[in-house]
Amino acid sequence: DAKTTQPPSMDCAEGRAANLPCNHSTISGNEYVYWYRQIHSQGPQYIIHGLKNNETNEMASLIITEDRKSSTLILPHATLRDTAVYYCIVRVPDGNDMRFGAGTRLTVKP
């Protein structure tokens, strides 16, 4: 079973920030939060991951709450090409399991 809860869908206006929430209330101390996205039926694409500190890369920012029970993926300036299903996954880095839940379908609108 996926250990995360995400809203099934969200809309965002082009050029605005997209904030995608994820609840992971049962996360263990050694589990990281990973985000992937899947555009249409393409292979999933890695976005970012983190343990407890906020992380930023060229694609997005990841904000993890202090108690680590939830996180938010931020796409600072969403474009139409960011329309995709976004998956939040919690797991230990050296484990094998990569369990994808249903994700959030983000639609960026003009």
Partner 1 sequence: EAQVTQNPRYLITVTGKKLTVTCSQNMNHEYMSWYRQDPGLGLRQIYYSMNVEVTDKGDVPEGYKVSRKEKRNFPLILESPSPNQTSLYFCASSLAGAGGEQYFGPGTRLTVT
- Which residues of this protein are in contact with partner 1, per CB under 8 A? 32, 36, 41-46, 49, 91-103
Q: Distance (Å, rounded) from C-alpha 79 to C-alpha 82?
A: 5
Q: How far is the CB of 52 from partner 1 (least distance, A)?
A: 16
Instruction: Tell me how far, at minimum, the Cβ of 91 lies from partner 1, in Å.
Output: 7
Tell me the sheet residues that pair with 22.
Answer: 71
Q: Which lies closer to partner 1 via its Cβ, residue 48 or residue 108?
A: 48
As measured in angstroms, the least distance from the Cβ of 17 to partner 1 is 24
Q: Tell me the β-bridge partners of 82.
A: none
